[in-house]
Amino acid sequence: MKFLIAVSFIISSASAFAPAAVTQSSSTTALFMAENGDVQPLRIGTRGSPLAMAQAFETRRRLQEQFPELNQDGAIEICVLKTQGDMILDKSLMELGGKGLFTKELDVALLGNEVDICVHSMKDVPTWLPEGTILPCNLPREDTNDAFITKDNVYKSIEELPDGSVIGTASLRRQAQIMAKNPTLKCVNFRGNVQTRLRKLNDGVVDATLLAIAGLKRMDMDKHATSVLDWSEMLPAVAQGAIGIQCRSDDERSLKYIEALNHKETKVCVDCERAFLEALDGNCKTPIAGQARIVDGKIKFRGLIAMPDGSQKFEIESEGEMADAKDIGRAAGEKLKADAGDKFFQMMVEMSPQQVLGQLTK
């Protein structure tokens, strides 16, 4: 079934949601002139969730700080598009087909010259990009860890939850690590934006939930976190906490803008993690976690794959030079793939969505 792009709406750079920078400039030399002589704004494509909008506004702010001409009225437009992942909320991501659910419509708009750049949560971006596009920029990364949240902060950790407690999560990565700790816990499908999930928690639909602390911080909602789980408690998703900016590969104007925003250390770590995911040929049927960080000039990586019910888990740690980031991630993925064996991955391929979900129910 083919899903078409919803009609986008435009928010000018003077949006009431996020005021434009005060600095003004009369320079238009860096702005593109359309064939009719009008100044062509830089069009930012984004999803419409509160978190996606916060990331688009952060991108706009950084562009305006770096390039004074982009502070002019109308110099930047934010174009909001609906993706398949936004429109279907009653199914798990795995049942919908996994990766690309939050990017396909943005890719189409970018290649169709409806937008100039696209702002993504990097954990939603497939390891392959459509031909004719590149993703050369990652903004400085937020805290990558998961937040553990309970109503009234009754329990401070997964281990404190009573047997049989219900945890809301749409993530097989989280489910596998939760159930490895306590197989009696029940994970239920829990989708929607952050505000929706918190409301369901407060209404008693579940006993606890987990969200990326990065998203909560970007929306000034981190006060809702009961605790922040470190890597030993819950290894985060590949590229979690990172924002990526994509453009057409032949668009020199957009490339100039976004390359100036790239944060080298974040890009190195994200490249390492995505190479790990690519080596595993990861999809939403396989719980995969992977994180890299830079310590004393070296890159340190930790990765994990598991069965959805947590009954089997394979982990790896490696380190090396920053220049070898992709090779380190790729080698780690190939090692875990060999350790798990063909049978492990064949089981994932053959399982129906219902079998893979295990205890994860609607």
245: β partners: 119, 137
Q: How far is residue 158's CA from residue 179's CA, in Å, rounded to a whole number?
A: 10
Half-sphere exposure of 111 (CA within 13 A, CB side): 13
- The encoded tokens of residue 290 equal 């992977």
Residue from 116, 124, 251, 309 carrying the catalytic annotation: 124
Specify burial of residue 75 (Cβ count, 10 A radius: 0-12, 13-18, 19+). buried
Cα-trace Rg, the chain: 21
Residues 6+ apart with CB under 8 A from 82: 5, 6, 47, 48, 105
Spatial CB neighbours of 313, under 8 Å, sequence gap ≥ 6: 176, 177, 180, 304, 305, 306, 307
* Side-chain half-sphere CA neighbours of 301 within 13 A: 34
Write the CB contacts of 248 (distance below 8 Å, at least 6 apart in sequence): 110, 111, 113, 116, 132, 133, 134, 254
Is 124 assigned a catalytic role? yes
Residues annotated as part of the active site: 124
